[in-house]
């Protein structure tokens, strides 16, 4: 069917906005999007250029987005069919121009794709990035933003030549989600080891203690970097999004991987800094950056890794103490053990959104991660740890930007360790209805349990081994001073 263009669209102003432009040609297969927005962020105009590729069709990752994408054509050669724009004659050495009706999009799509926070905008490229059905791995995808004065954009993508507005996609599948935020916020650069986290507080006027929010992210990132001495990603995007009064400081958080890594924290901006510092969400989400995208049926593995790491890294970073870390882990293991076990771990993971057996899935995965960490240390005489093999994995394999199954990654971790630890755990537990038995490990780590409360043995042999895992850092005391930030430093 031919897409009908409303008459009003053909106003003089928009006639100049011809869909097919014959701009100077770039003889390559690279893709370049130029996005122009206005003050108030009501318009989103995109020019997509495909070099000398022959383009027969374009589609957004979210095909329903074509309902609020419009374009004009003086040739009427474009058909919209099943979420795709199909060109009657090939588009070659030309650019395609289109625009998003943001008001209409906001009415139709979900907040996860388009979210206005105050006067700032958070938008998913899945609703505005039109791309051809196949993109060669060597294709470079760049995105340039043209913003009104005083506006900033933050993406998870690599900045080109230190530009604040030109970015390059990592070569990930185009369907992988990401978020881009545009608005009048600052972008703080927080250095942790050799990485620089780019942090934006969205609708930042709502945050009364901005420096403390940066300190919260910095502390979680430092704790995360303590796993193997560096932060796992060079320059991740961090969004902190205020959502008003909620039952906890960070009710929801997520990591996205489209074109680069981003962590997004939806927060109750009125909470005290202490609540943020003791909340596990930031360390949990940043810990997801240690592993690649894991297939959904194996969510027990990715969530288990992050859940185990959140506990031990918060202790290493001084956000909680050793006792709290092991008590938190024990509570999680107990709740998982007491959860319904009528499905195997993999079945429960496949049905996670239907049955919501989150505790069982997350903490069974965490127990498997603890066993792996313990066995690696024991069988290597302390030379290998979960952290050390994840570092090897980063060096060999994280650049692939592809989806892994739990089995593939566990096999690779065994190969890197030169031991047979992960695959036997996969074989024993992935299709089992049983929670792993941790009694032997508790005994060897000097952890005793009485009425669900743990006590930690101070006996040297056991405490030494245990403290290798959780560290021995004193918990950071946060004073009642609203201007508090660690070390009085302000170079976030």
Nearer to Zn ion, 59 or 305 (CB): 305
- Angle at which helix 299-316 crosses helix 210-225, to 10 degrees, equals 110
Q: Which is nearer to Zn ion, 203 or 303 (CB)?
A: 303
Helix axes 460-470, 299-316, angle to 10 degrees: 110
Q: Tell me how far, at minimum, the Cβ of 305 lies from Zn ion, in Å.
A: 9
CA-based Rg of the chain, rounded to a whole angstrom?
Answer: 25
Measured from the CB atom, the residue of 183 and 304 that comes closer to Zn ion is 304
Least spacing, CB of residue 359 vs Zn ion, in Å: 13
CA–CA separation, 78 vs 72, rounded Å? 9
Q: Which residue is nearest to Zn ion (CB)?
A: 306
Rounded Cα gap, residues 285 and 63, in angstroms: 29
Of 301, 394, 290, 285, which is closest to residue 346 (Cα–Cα)? 301
Q: How far is the CB of 309 from Zn ion (least distance, A)?
A: 10
Minimum gap (Å) between residue 43 Cβ and Zn ion:
36
Strands (E), 38-94: 43-49, 54-58, 69-70, 78-81, 84-92
CA 163, 169, 170 angle in degrees (round to 5)? 120
Closest to Zn ion by CB, 10 vs 252, is 252
> Least separation, in Å, of the C-beta of 390 and Zn ion?
16
Q: Which is nearer to Zn ion, 303 or 373 (CB)?
A: 303
CB of 306 or CB of 325, closer to Zn ion = 306
- Please report how close the Cβ of residue 362 comes to Zn ion at its closest, in angstroms: 7
Q: How far is the CB of 132 from Zn ion (least distance, A)?
A: 33
Summarize as ranges the residues that interact with Zn ion (CB under 5 A). 303, 306
Closer CB to Zn ion, 123 or 325, in the complex: 325
Comparing CB distances to Zn ion, the nearer of 306 and 313 is 306
How many angstroms from the chain centroid is the CA of residue 233?
11
CB 255 to Zn ion: min, Å: 7
Residue 444's nearest CA partner among 421, 465, 415 is: 465
Name all contacts of 468-472 with Cβ < 8 Å and 24+ positions apart.
468/377, 468/382, 468/385, 469/312, 469/373, 469/374, 469/377, 469/445, 470/311, 470/312, 470/315, 470/316, 470/322, 470/325, 470/326, 471/226, 471/312, 471/315, 471/316, 471/322, 472/322
């Amino acid at each position: 069917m031919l897409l009908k263009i409303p008459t009003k669209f053909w106003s003089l102003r928009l006639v100049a906005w011809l869909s097919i432009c014959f701009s100077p040609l770039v003889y390559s297969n690279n893709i370049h999007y130029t996005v122009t927005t206005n003050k108030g962020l009501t318009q989103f105009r995109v020019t997509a250029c495909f070099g000398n590729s022959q383009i027969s069709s374009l589609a957004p990752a979210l095909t329903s987005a074509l309902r609020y994408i419009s374009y004009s054509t003086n040739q009427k050669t474009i058909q919209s069919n099943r979420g795709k724009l199909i060109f009657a004659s090939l588009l070659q050495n030309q650019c395609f121009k289109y625009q998003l009706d943001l008001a209409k999009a906001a009415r139709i799509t979900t907040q996860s794709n388009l979210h206005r926070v105050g006067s700032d905008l958070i938008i998913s490229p899945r609703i505005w990035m039109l791309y051809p059905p196949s993109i060669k791995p060597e294709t470079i995808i760049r995105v340039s933003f043209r913003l009104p004065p005083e506006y900033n954009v933050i993406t998870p993508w690599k900045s080109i030549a230190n530009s604040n507005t030109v970015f390059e996609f990592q070569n990930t599948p185009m369907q992988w989600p990401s978020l881009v935020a545009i608005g009048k916020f600052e972008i703080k650069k927080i250095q942790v080891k050799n990485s620089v986290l780019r942090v934006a507080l969205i609708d930042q006027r709502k945050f009364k203690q901005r420096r403390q929010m940066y300190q919260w992210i910095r502390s979680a990132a430092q704790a995360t970097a303590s796993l193997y001495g560096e932060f796992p990603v060079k320059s991740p995007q961090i969004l902190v999004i205020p959502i008003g009064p909620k039952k906890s400081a960070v009710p929801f958080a997520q990591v996205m991987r489209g074109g680069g890594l981003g962590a997004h924290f939806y927060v109750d901006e009125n909470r005290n800094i202490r609540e943020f510092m003791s909340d596990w969400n930031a360390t949990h989400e940043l810990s997801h950056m240690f592993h690649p995208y894991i297939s959904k049926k194996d969510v027990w593995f990715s969530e288990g890794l992050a859940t185990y790491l959140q506990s031990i890294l918060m202790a290493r970073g001084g956000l909680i103490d050793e006792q709290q870390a092991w008590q938190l882990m024990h509570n999680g293991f107990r709740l998982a053990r007491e959860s319904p076990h009528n499905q195997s771990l993999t079945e429960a993971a496949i049905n996670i959104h239907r049955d919501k057996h989150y505790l069982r899935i997350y903490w069974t995965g965490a127990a498997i991660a603890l066993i792996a960490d313990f066995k690696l240390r024991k069988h290597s005489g302390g030379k290998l740890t979960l952290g050390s093999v994840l570092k090897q994995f980063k060096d060999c394999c994280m650049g692939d930007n592809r989806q892994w199954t739990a089995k593939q990654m566990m096999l690779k971790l065994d190969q890197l360790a030169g031991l047979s630890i992960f695959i036997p755990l996969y074989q024993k537990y992935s299709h089992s209805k049983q929670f792993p038995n941790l009694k032997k490990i508790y005994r060897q780590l000097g952890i005793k349990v009485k009425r669900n409360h743990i006590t930690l043995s101070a006996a040297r042999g056991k405490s030494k081994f245990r403290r290798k895992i959780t560290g021995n850092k004193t918990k950071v005391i946060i004073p009642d001073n609203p201007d508090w930030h660690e070390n009085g430093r302000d170079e976030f």
